[in-house]
């Protein structure tokens, strides 16, 4: 029997002006599950996250969080409902301190989600504690990625959407960020991860979806994707 979905995306369509970008995207994520959304650049992965988050308005379809349909809601309402978003662009506030960036993200605790504190964020990333009074714009790319993830978690989400968290990071920082994603899951938060590094996605995920041309072209476990070389060749590998 399938585990009930916490986040369910059903037949989601989205356009940029007259360009049809998402074509009936459907996926489901259970509570405390890491699911990766894979595909080549331009396949529609980031647009899927932005549409779930309300940053791109869907033209049709559903985005249900624990049965509540949020499709078409404004982003701040979706965040308040319990979905957080870590954009690829990071989007920290460069002119205020690390701690002030974190405090902006703090939201009241929810009975149905783990509560996170600034102190826990510093436990995850001691280097941020050392730089707590530093303007965020002075951080390295890896430190900015850590800060963005911390700020999203401090909203106490039930689901967190993370777009390309390891892009451009040194291998040591990649491992730190990967460990944090696992810890988020262990605490009971569901994760929808867009990740270009296939080895990382396969290592941390319970299930994977593969996108191509704005559609889901494969769904399964990492092992089933390993056993589908034709899928990897057509939709993932760089020719």
Tell me, yes or no, if the pTM score tops 0.85: yes
Within 154-221, where are the H helices? 171-186, 198-204
CB atoms within 10 A of CB 22: 26
First-to-final CA distance of the chain: 39
Cβ atoms of 167 and 196 closer than 8 Å = yes
Selection from 199, 202, 237 nearest residue 221 by Cα: 202
Tell me the pLDDT of the chain (239 aa) as tens digits: 467 899 999 999 999 999 999 999 999 999 999 999 999 999 999 999 999 999 999 999 999 999 999 999 999 999 999 999 999 888 899 999 999 999 999 998 888 889 999 999 999 899 999 999 999 999 998 899 999 999 999 999 999 999 999 988 888 889 988 999 999 999 999 999 999 899 999 999 999 999 999 999 999 999 999 999 999 999 998 65
Regarding the domain delimited by 5-235, which CATH topology (the fold level of the hierarchy) does it fall under? Rossmann fold (3.40.50)
At which residue do the structure tokens 């760089």 appear? 238
């Amino acid at each position: 029997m399938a585990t009930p979905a916490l986040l369910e995306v059903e037949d989601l369509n989205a356009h940029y002006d007259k360009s049809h970008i998402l074509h009936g995207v459907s996926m489901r994520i259970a509570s405390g599950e890491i699911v990766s959304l894979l595909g080549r650049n331009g396949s529609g992965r980031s647009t899927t996250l932005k549409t779930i988050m309300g940053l791109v308005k869907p033209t049709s379809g559903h985005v249900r969080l624990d049965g509540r349909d949020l499709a078409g809601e404004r982003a701040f309402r979706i965040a308040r409902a319990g979905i957080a978003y870590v954009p690829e662009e990071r989007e920290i506030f460069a002119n205020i301190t690390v701690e002030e960036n974190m405090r902006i993200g703090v939201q009241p605790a929810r009975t149905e989600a783990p509560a996170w504190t600034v102190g826990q964020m510093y436990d995850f990333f001691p280097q941020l504690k050392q730089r707590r009074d530093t303007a965020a714009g002075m951080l390295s790319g890896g430190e900015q990625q850590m800060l963005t993830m911390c700020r999203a978690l401090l909203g106490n989400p039930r689901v967190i959407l993370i777009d390309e968290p390891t892009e451009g990071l040194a291998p040591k920082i990649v491992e730190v960020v990967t460990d944090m994603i696992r810890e988020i899951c262990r605490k009971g938060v569901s994760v929808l991860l867009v990740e270009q590094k296939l080895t990382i996605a396969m290592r941390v995920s319970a299930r994977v979806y593969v996108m191509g041309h704005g559609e889901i072209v494969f769904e399964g476990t990492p092992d089933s994707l390993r056993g589908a070389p034709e899928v990897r060749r057509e939709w993932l590998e760089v020719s």
